Amino acid sequence: MSGFDKDSLIKAQRARRRRMMLGIGGVILILLISAGVYLGTAVIDRVSIAVAPDEARDIAQLEILEGTGWIWNDEIIAVRSPLKLQVFADGFKREVLTVGDATWRRGQLDVVLKPLPATVKATTKPESDEVRWYLNGALVSVASQLTIDLPAGQLTIEARHPHFEPTSQSITLERGESYQLSLDLKPVKGQVEITSAPSGAEVSLNSEAIGKTPLHLELEGGEYEIALSLTNHDPRKDSFVISLDNAEVSRHYKLAVSNRDVTFSLTPSDGSLTVGGNKVASRETASVSLPVNSRQTATYSKPGFRTQDIEFEVNSNFGNQIELELQPVYGMVEVRSSPTADVSHNGKVIGKTPVLVRMQTLPQTFTVSQTRFLPETHTITPIEGTTRVLEVNLVSEKEHRLKSSPDTYVNSLGMKFKLFKEADYFTMGSKPGELNSRPNEFYRQVQLQRPFYAGVHEVTAESFHKFIGTNRIPTVGNRPITGVSWKEAAKFSNWLSKLEGLRPVYRFTGDEYLGSDSTADGYRMLTEAEWEWLARKAGRNQQTIFPWGDETIIPQNSGNLADVTAKGYAAVVIPQYNDGQAVVSATGLFQPNPVGIHDLTGNVSEWTHDAYDHTVPSGDQIELDPFDTSNATYHTIKGSSWASGEVSELRVAYRTGGSRGNDRIGFRLARYLY
């Protein structure tokens, strides 16, 4: 039906309704007026109804739902009272309104009718959730179908899918109408090229076999899963999409040769395995993945064994197993030593040097040991076809101790000691007829061989008081301790030895002296021979009569002797000698002797270790390290003191004996190194 015919029909229907309403309205109006006249209370009024939009005005219809009134054209005539009014038109949503007092007074009611939408439902053949729906070129939805309400008018609806050609349809929508349409999708046609290296691979597309490479295919748009397989090569899987934007697809696949596990059994374990130039972690077994049908090399080695090299081919079947067993390699080792000693290998004695043994070419450890020598452990690796010699020169325990001991050290009391290694030959005492000599100065030939430490200074009162704990002996400070007996000096020596972890020299039971231990390394007093050697020979080409030389004239500042200042204290004083010290002075106040020992001239005489006896020694025998071990009561005193003024007393050979101390006697410590 044309638009013109439709408008004419609407106008005719409206005129017919108006004629009907006029007749009905006239009757109602007469009834209303009659009722009002009868009652005497009626108020007759009217309201004009203005309908919008224009399209609805000409076809709008009015209907009184509640209340009494008459509709005349676009007006309502009624006794003034609330009315419920319905306004409707084809293609528009109905409106229900209430006419109240305010509306009657205003005389007009505006009504806007809302157009009813058109409903569109569109689908595709085939259906797909990936369809993209466009209305007049604008994307509105991605779904398998489109259901949408739209205003009346012209519309172009389009369906797009990546695997199909786009399709569209144009329609004219009327208000309140429903439209259903289906769009046919035409698949995209794509060109696919599939190749492989090597060629001849079986190709499956979406799990369906389609042939061997190379392949040229024409396929419809869509998603595809591709699989390639070739004997002795790793399979390949891939996917591709044919779409409107990607209609040409080319795939080239390089197929890798398949690998197989090769297992090596290794004897001995934990060697070095190299396969194809690559190092492989190995214990008792090792597994390596290698290309099928390939030629490979393997090398297995371990120190002490003969290296094994092999070539092999990797079987395409499973179960490649290779056994590699190395054979041990041997060489000869000869162990020599000086002196002859026991040889141990892995804790077991295998003989005395020289020893010749056959050993595997691995690092071999030998221990060479002998009593009173330091054991030595050496590692040597035998070499096949030759004899390796291990030469060991053992160092005695004494020699080691001598080499490792410091030349000087300071002990726990702050006393400094100096090491004297093997001393040279000298003579003790005085020769018969020597000027100022005495009968008890026996002439003796002596050789000192045992290394010993000698105190650089005499023992001070400060050090001694740490032993006795009180100041019962009046000597103070860094002056030499005096007034101590030989036993007290010996007990001090033992106390200090124990304090420093050394073996005591002197043996006591209570206060009873039992003798001494010549093998102990603890503190002791200098032996008489050591004292004389230090005083007359150490550091000199020739031994001397006096500590300063052979001349009776005393050089100034030689030591603290009975000088002119000692007059009144000493029985005899040395004329024209002044050392500035009347009695005992501090230790180290005067210059040391040539080997750095202080106060061997003057200050205090010194207790020595040895017993004081009158036994005449054999004149032809050389005494080696003379050391008294007896339990004698009287012991030798050596050296001059601050009260010495007679020439005879100043000689090195001068000696006397005693057991009790006095203000002119002190002592100096020493100890054997071993």
- Residues 292 and 336 occupy one common structural domain: no
pLDDT score, position 36? 46
Q: What is the pLDDT of residue 77?
A: 85
Closest CA to 346 of 329, 328, 369, 365: 365
Based on the fold, state whether residues 133 and 145 are members of the same structural domain.
yes
Contact indicator for 227, 236 with CB cutoff of 8 Å: yes
- Measured CA to CA in angstroms, residue 611 lies from 527, 658, 662 at distances of 9, 9, 18
Kindly state whether residues 421 and 555 are assigned to the same domain. yes
Positions in the chain whose pLDDT score sits under 50: 1-30, 32-41
Q: Is 465 helix (H, G, I), strand (E, B) or coil?
A: helix
- Among 372, 395, 418, the domain-final residue is 395
In a domain, 562, yes or no: yes
**Whole-angstrom distance, CA of residue 561 vs CA of residue 644:** 6
* Rounded Cα gap, residues 311 and 274, in angstroms: 12
* 564 HSE (CA, 13 A, CB side): 6
Total tally of structural domains belonging to the chain? 6
Predicted TM-score (pTM) of the model is: 0.57
Classify residue 420 by burial, with Cβ atoms within 10 Å: 0-12, 13-18, 19+.
buried
Residue 380 belongs to a domain: yes
Q: Are residues 492 and 575 in the same domain?
A: yes
Question: Would you state the pLDDT for residue 540?
Answer: 94
Query: Residue 639 in contact with residue 526, Cβ under 8 Å?
Result: no
Number of neighbours of residue 216 by Cβ within 10 angstroms? 10
Output phi, psi for 497, to 5 deg.
-60, -50
Residue 243 lies in a domain: yes
What CATH number does residue 153 fall under?
2.60.40.1120
* Boundary residue ending a domain (292, 325, 358): 325
What is the total residue count of the chain? 674
Same domain, 462 and 538: yes
DSSP notation for 483-545: S--HHHHHHHHHHHHHHTTPPPSEEEETTEEEEE-TT--S-EEPPHHHHHHHHHTTTSSS--S
pLDDT at 20: 43
Collapsing DSSP to helix, strand or coil, 233 comes out as: strand
Q: Does one domain contain both 216 and 231?
A: yes
Q: Per the structure block, which two tokens stand in for 51?
A: 């309908």
Q: Where does a domain end: 202, 233, 254? A: 254
Together in a domain, 454 and 552: yes
CATH of the domain at 518: 3.90.1580.10
* Structural domain includes residue 71: yes
Q: Is residue 83 part of a domain?
A: yes
Does residue 400 fall inside a structural domain? no
Distance CA 632, CA 67 (A): 158
Residues 489 and 552 in one domain: yes
Are residue 582 and residue 545 in the same domain, yes or no? yes
CA distance 300 to 281: 11
Identify which of 96, 105, 100 has the alpha carbon closest to the alpha carbon of residue 81. 100
Compute and round to an integer the Cα radius of gyration of the chain.
Answer: 66
Quote the pLDDT of residue 101: 80
**349 with 208, same domain?**
no
Secondary structure of residue 640 in the 3-state scheme = coil
Contacts 24+ apart (CB under 8 A), 511-515: 511/487, 513/487, 513/631, 513/633, 514/631, 515/629, 515/630, 515/631
Token pair for 262: 């090769």
Confidence at residue 501, expressed as pLDDT on a 0 to 100 scale: 97
Identify whether residues 494 and 616 lie together within a single domain: yes
**Residue 563: inside a domain, yes or no?**
yes
Q: Which long-range contacts (CB under 8 A, 24 or more apart) does 356-363 make?
A: 356/332, 356/387, 357/332, 357/333, 358/330, 358/331, 358/332, 359/330, 359/331, 359/332, 359/333, 360/304, 360/328, 360/329, 360/330, 361/303, 361/304, 361/329, 361/330, 361/331, 362/303, 362/304, 363/303
Q: Which domain holds residue 299?
A: 262-325
Whether residue 374 sits in one domain with residue 303? no
Distance CA 584, CA 9 (A): 159
**528 in a structural domain:** yes
Confidence (pLDDT) at 78: 78
Go through 236-253 and write b for each residue having 16 or more CB atoms within 10 A of its CB, e for each that does not: beeebebbeeeeebebeb
Contact 628, 513 (CB under 8 A): no
Residues 6+ apart with CB under 8 A from 5: none
